[in-house]
Amino acid sequence: MDAKFLAASEKHPIVEGHVFQYGTAGFRMKADLLDGVTFRVGLLAGLRSRKLNSTIGIMITASHNPFPDNGVKVVDPSGDMLEQEWEAFATQLVNAKSHDDLLKTYKELASKLKIDLGAPGDVIYARDTRPSGRKLVAALSDAFEATDTPYHDCGILTTPQLHYMTRCINTSGTPQAYGEPTEEGYYKKFADAFVKALKGRKVQGDLIVDCSNGVGGPKLSQFLKHVPRDKTGFKVKIVNDDVLRPELLNQESGADFVKTKQRAPPSPKPVPGARYCSFDGDADRLIYYWTDPDTGFFMLDGDRISSLAASFIADLVRSAGLDQELRIGVVQTAYANGASTNYIEKHLQLPVVCTPTGVKHLHHAAMKFDIGCYFEANGHGTVLFSIDARRAFRDTEPQSPAQKDALDTLAAVSDLVNQTVGDALSDMLLVEVILAHKKWSLKDWATTYTDLPNRLVKVEVANKDAFTTYDAERRLENPPGLQDKIDECVKKYTNGRAFARASGTENACRVYAEAATRSEADELAARVAEYVN
Ligand code: NG1
Ligand code: ZN
């Protein structure tokens, strides 16, 4: 095995002079640095699959990043992100100094973790539409061949589709079977749940979906072939779906563009009043918006999707008579608009938990509820339903037609929402179902609460690691004294809130501020940024 291992490793050398770290999005960087990194992630996935005797997934994508970037991340058997302890093992393998050192580290990990290298193992992988992905999946297959690890190439998929596949394979034949582990199975599952969750209602008006010129475009188009137009009324126009010119990926389009620029993509020219949404480059984030003929652009981000979903589901749970039995909660990060937190706690009367940035934190906090709704403000999120909740939807004996209706809708909604990870396609269907049930336009949805004006600024600092936080990243522990200065400053603003933290994905600090007025939010952000600088 050693000779085969070393020969394969030599084909995929690591670029020297870099320290690589498995971050919130796995390893993500310029694609030309990733060949050796990806080979080594393949080795890690093989080890993990042998350790757990399960199928592990690998996704090659750089999501909303520009086209020259790419990334690689590992998906655990349940379809969840890689367990945190293993992130360190990934970092260790990737930073091995030489091919021999890599082999040594690989064997040491296997022995430390008591992994039988003769155990079967199984890894599946997919990539988004970036051309650099082709070379990277070749690095993966070389890693599997070199270690005799069975593998399967799922081709081009969205990130949530790969998470779905991983879970389906691992739950197949068990009471928790998630679905058919094929792309076709994915479309059928969500199309079927969509029809059921609408319960005879029809979606009103057309929806224009901006796919960021990424993998979401062709996949959404495939999906729509499975949706009966007559039964659902669902009429979709897909835009920004050019995947043949890769340089267009995430250019002036997509969920990240809309959220960070707070405007609609310039192309195609926005039609006033029409209902829009945007996916990001790997279709795991979703943002809705419309351009009002009178007041201009209005965006409905992850906080809005979260509060809409939580409100709808909590009402159904009450109508189903399960509100004493099932605990519903909402999970946010510090970037959630304070008005959304206030609306969920005060108006919807639901508990809100705040976690550090990064989906894995939100996901794990959401799992502690029977129904846990989590979204980052940027539009990544989902709603998790526990086994108990799903059992209650199925087994509760309804005492009235209204109760039966609520139980059936809850069962369908729990199938409609991707249980593995945030999924733009599945979340979009959820939003469409809720709007159809409530007979709401985007404008009706927008009136539920008024966002506090806010500002997010990036501050380039000499050493971002000097900024350490506590209280779910809302307060600075270091540098000493800085938090006191921020507190003093925030006090001067009505409804003021501000925090600073080191970015996990960029070499910078981010400062977020909100306050009662636009000018106050801007001023507060600028002041805090000055302290940080
Ligand atoms: P960082 O760079 O740690 O702020 C960003 C996003 C996160 C998340 C990760 C990717 C903001 C403020 N931060 O994290 O929400 O999407 O990228 O995992 O949007
Ligand atoms: Zn993404």
316 Cβ partners below 8 Å, 6+ apart? 406, 409, 410, 413
- Cβ(221) – ligand 1 distance below 6 Å: no
C-alpha to C-alpha distance for 455 and 525, rounded to whole angstroms: 6
pLDDT at 224 over 90: yes
Q: Identify the pLDDT of residue 457.
A: 93
366-to-342, 382, 394 alpha-carbon distances in Å: 19, 9, 21
Q: Which residue spans within 177-274 are E strands per DSSP? A: 206-210, 235-239
* Residue tagged active-site, from 49, 63, 307, 311: 63
Q: Identify the pLDDT of residue 41.
A: 98
> How does pLDDT run across 43-54, given as a tens digit for each residue?
999 999 999 999
Predicted confidence band at 338 (pLDDT cuts at 50, 70, 90)?
Answer: very high
- Cβ(505) – ligand 1 distance below 6 Å: yes
Q: Identify the pLDDT of residue 24.
A: 87
Q: Identify the pLDDT of residue 1.
A: 79
Q: Output the CA 40–ligand 2 centroid distance in Å.
A: 23
Given CA atoms 516, 519, 523, 526 in this order, what sign does their dihedral have? positive
Strand order in the sheet with 381-385: 352-354, 328-332, 371-375, 381-385
Ligand nearest the Cα of residue 284 is 2
Length of the chain: 533
- Cβ(376) – ligand 1 distance below 6 Å: yes
DSSP string, 491-503: TTSTT-EEEEEE-
- Cβ(276) – ligand 1 distance below 6 Å: no
Q: Is 269 exposed, middle or buried (0-12, 13-18, 19+ CB in 10 A)?
A: exposed
Q: Identify the pLDDT of residue 504.
A: 84
> How does pLDDT run across 383-435, given as a tens digit for each residue?
999 999 999 999 999 999 999 999 999 999 999 999 999 999 999 999 999 99
C-alpha to C-alpha distance for 108 and 106, rounded to whole angstroms: 6
- Cβ(149) – ligand 1 distance below 6 Å: no
Q: Whose CA is nearest to atom 4 of ligand 1?
A: 503
- Cβ(357) – ligand 1 distance below 6 Å: yes
Predicted confidence band at 31 (pLDDT cuts at 50, 70, 90)?
Answer: very high
- Cβ(483) – ligand 1 distance below 6 Å: no
Burial 331-350 (b: 16+ CB within 10 A, else e): bbbbbbbbbbbebbeeebeb
Computed over every residue of the chain, the mean pLDDT equals 97
Fold of 2-156: Alpha-D-Glucose-1,6-Bisphosphate; Chain A, domain 3 (3.40.120)
505, 511, 514, best to mutate for ligand 1 pocket (most atoms within 8 Å of CB): 505
110 Cβ partners below 8 Å, 6+ apart? 47, 117
Q: Output the CA 466–ligand 1 centroid distance in Å.
A: 19
> How does pLDDT run across 98-115, given as a tens digit for each residue?
999 999 999 999 999 999
Name the percent of the chain lying above pLDDT 90: 98
Q: Output the CA 504–ligand 1 centroid distance in Å.
A: 7
Phi, psi of 368 (to 5 degrees): -80, -15
pLDDT at 514 over 90: yes
Q: Output the CA 179–ligand 2 centroid distance in Å.
A: 23
CATH superfamily for 186-300 is Alpha-D-Glucose-1,6-Bisphosphate, subunit A, domain 3 (3.40.120.10)
Residue 162 neighbours by CB distance under 10 Å: 27
> How does pLDDT run across 252-274, given as a tens digit for each residue?
999 999 999 999 999 999 999 99
- Cβ(48) – ligand 1 distance below 6 Å: no
Q: Is 439 exposed, middle or buried (0-12, 13-18, 19+ CB in 10 A)?
A: exposed
pLDDT at 507 over 90: no
Q: Identify the pLDDT of residue 448.
A: 97
Residue 247 neighbours by CB distance under 10 Å: 11
Q: Identify the pLDDT of residue 445.
A: 98
Note the CATH architecture for domain 302-446.
Answer: 3-Layer(aba) Sandwich (3.40)
Given CA atoms 422, 424, 426, 431 in this order, what sign does their dihedral have? positive
- Cβ(284) – ligand 1 distance below 6 Å: no
Q: Whose CA is nearest to atom 3 of ligand 1?
A: 504
DSSP string, 376-435: -TTS-EEEEE-HHHHHHHHH---SSHHHHHHHHHHHHHHHHS-SSS--HHHHHHHHHHHH
CATH number of 454-532: 3.30.310.50
Q: Output the CA 473–ligand 2 centroid distance in Å.
A: 22
Active-site annotation holds for 519: no
C-alpha to C-alpha distance for 393 and 410, rounded to whole angstroms: 6
* Strand, helix or coil for residue 51: helix
* Strand, helix or coil for residue 339: helix
> How does pLDDT run across 469-506, given as a tens digit for each residue?
999 999 999 999 999 999 999 999 999 999 999 998 78
Q: Which atom of ligand 1 is nearest to the CA of 506?
A: 2
Domain ranges of the chain: 2-156, 186-300, 302-446, 454-532
Q: Output the CA 464–ligand 1 centroid distance in Å.
A: 15
Q: Whose CA is nearest to atom 16 of ligand 1?
A: 358
Q: Identify the pLDDT of residue 152.
A: 98
> How does pLDDT run across 349-389, given as a tens digit for each residue?
999 999 999 999 999 999 999 999 999 999 999 999 999 99
Q: Identify the pLDDT of residue 516.
A: 97
Q: Could you tell me if 230 and 247 are in contact, meaning their C-beta atoms sit under 8 angstroms apart?
A: no
Residue 374's closest CA among 80, 60, 56, 71?
A: 80
Segment holding 510, helix H or strand E: strand 509-514
Q: Which atom of ligand 1 is nearest to the CA of 24?
A: 18
Q: Which residue spans within 273-377 are E strands per DSSP? A: 275-279, 286-292, 296-300, 328-332, 352-354, 371-375
